[in-house]
Amino acid sequence: MEKYFDIQYLWNAFPQLLPYLKITFLVAGIAVVFGTLLGLLLAFMKMGKSRVLQWLAHGYTTVMRCTPSIVLLFLVYYGVPFLADASLGINLQDIHTGVFVVITFSLQFAAMMSEVIRSAIQSIDKGQYEAAVSVGLTPWQAYRRIIFPQAFVIAIPNFGNGLIAVLQEGALAYTIGFIDVVGKANLIIASNFNTHALEIYIALAVIYWVISIAIEKIFEMIEKAFSKGSRSLKAS
């Protein structure tokens, strides 16, 4: 009789799963880049004087927060090709599923980062901006030299948490047939006729634990390094 739990399956799972981490990291990295850029735009819309832009940016954030990740993933996966075909006559049926995964988590990450960036910038004393402009700096120079460096330090912990969230939420991508580390895990289980799934998922959990803890420690070190730099700059 075959064992219900065989640790050998667990150890064998790691060399099969680890090569697919590069796909997981690639998708998460692209989503973070595009999401940060869109989040920055949304943050300035929220802080701007236009009521319409404020309403649009806050509305976008609310919609993204209220939409479960898996629902958003399916909306993008099925909705984007439909809209492209219906409005532009473009067939996107052959587009790689990774594109839809990136779009989904870029949109979701942007909503999160818009709040992180907005709160970080608004936490800086307005007097610093006014003082910088009064001594001859342009508004852009005041933000680039004075506001952004301080806001960056404040935003680092939440940015790290957001990155971990993207990696974890990205595990849902297998539901549309995307093969990353989670998709590979499910392929292994299917090839074993759904036996020894526990061992495979334990291996997968260990991988995500290590990645999450590593990211958390790295961002703690980055925060400490930049905090020391900002303190020395203030002291001088």
Spell out the domains of the chain, with CATH numbers in brackets: 7-235 (1.10.3720.10)
pLDDT band at 10 (very low <50, low <70, confident <90, very high): confident
* pLDDT of 185 over the 90 cut: yes
Residues 6+ apart with CB under 8 A from 86: none
**137-151, 178-192, 216-230 — which one is most confidently predicted on average?**
178-192
pLDDT band at 149 (very low <50, low <70, confident <90, very high): confident
Q: Which two tokens stand for residue 136?
A: 């001859």
Q: Which two tokens stand for residue 195?
A: 């036996």
**Contact of 194 with 2, CB cutoff 8 Å:** no
| Model pLDDT for residues 17-27, shown as the tens digit of each residue | 999 999 999 99
pLDDT band at 233 (very low <50, low <70, confident <90, very high): very low
Residues 6+ apart with CB under 8 A from 109: 31, 32, 35, 36, 39, 162, 166
Q: Which two tokens stand for residue 15?
A: 């060399």
Coil vs helix vs strand at 50: coil
pLDDT band at 137 (very low <50, low <70, confident <90, very high): confident
| Model pLDDT for residues 186-216, shown as the tens digit of each residue | 999 888 877 788 999 999 999 999 999 999 9
Report the amino acid identity of residue 81.
P
Core vs surface per residue 166-179: b (16+ CB within 10 A) or e? bbebbbbbbebebb
What is the pLDDT averaged over residues 45-59? Answer: 94
pLDDT at 230: 55
Q: What are the C-alpha distances in Å from 194 to residues 178, 185, 189, 191, 202?
A: 19, 11, 5, 7, 15
pLDDT at 4: 67
Phi, psi dihedrals of residue 83, rounded to the nearest 5°: -65, -40
* pLDDT of 54 over the 50 cut: yes
Return d(Cα 96, Cα 102) in angstroms, integer: 11
Which of 43, 28, 26 shows the shortest CA–CA distance to 152?
A: 43
**Contact of 116 with 35, CB cutoff 8 Å:** no
**Contact of 141 with 133, CB cutoff 8 Å:** no
* pLDDT of 70 over the 90 cut: yes
